[in-house]
Amino acid sequence: MTLRLSDTAPDFTQDSTDGPISLHQYLGDSWGVLFSHPKDFTPVCTTELGAVARLKPEFDKRNVKVLGLSVDPLADHKAWVGDIAETQGTALNFPLLADPDRKVSGLYDMIHPNANDTLTVRSVFIIDPNKKIRLIITYPASTGRSFEEILRVIDSLQLTDKHKVATPVEWKLGADCIIVPSLSTEEARKLFPGGWDEKKPYLRMVKQPGA
């Protein structure tokens, strides 16, 4: 199954380190990040799970629930949790799905046979409160992810859902934004009475709304 942006995130029920989880019920009215790992007891995955555990307060501030996944069974997950706490200095504080039957991996196209026909790639899905997929990133198994970047994207999505702006390259919370080109000058004056820096008619830089 190939998923695209704005598709509804497939629902599922699967065991996890926090007990059985049904995705849509688990997310409720929150945003969600679902991210997969190729295998338990692997070095890159161990560092990633530690990083997400440390960043969990940042996800919580943004009303985001995080959910990891690996194709290994639950017993292996529970044994791995101790290694993560020991080596990363942070205990796992979010659910890690067990997917030995590859049910979730299949729904989300996380196994790429040309890379490996049994292990998941490093997939990331950001899901909004309407259960729509808003971001899909696929990393190779050898490359650890930047979860600071995932937070940056969530900040952008939450801002641009609320205001008629887009965010430029390397944007971070508090920086100037771009007025969307579909907004006429007259409409922009009503929404942004403080004015903007018009570099080109299609490139209008404005202070971040609400900053």
Q: Given this model, what pLDDT does residue 118 score? A: 47
Per-residue pLDDT of 150-205, as tens digits, reads: 999 999 999 999 999 999 999 999 999 999 999 999 999 999 999 999 999 999 99
**Cα gap 149→86, rounded to integer Å:** 25
Q: Which CATH topology does 13-145 take?
A: Glutaredoxin (3.40.30)
CB 70 within 8 A of CB 40: yes
pLDDT band at 17 (very low <50, low <70, confident <90, very high): very high
Phi, psi of 109 (to 5 degrees): 55, 50
CB 81 within 8 A of CB 91: yes
What are the structural domain ranges in the chain? 13-145, 163-206
Per-residue pLDDT of 25-37, as tens digits, reads: 999 999 999 999 8
163-206: what CATH class?
alpha beta
Q: How many CA atoms lie within 13 A of 121 on its CB side?
A: 19
**Which of the residues are catalytic?**
45
CB 49 within 8 A of CB 89: no
Per-residue pLDDT of 107-154, as tens digits, reads: 998 875 544 544 556 899 999 999 999 999 998 888 999 999 999 999
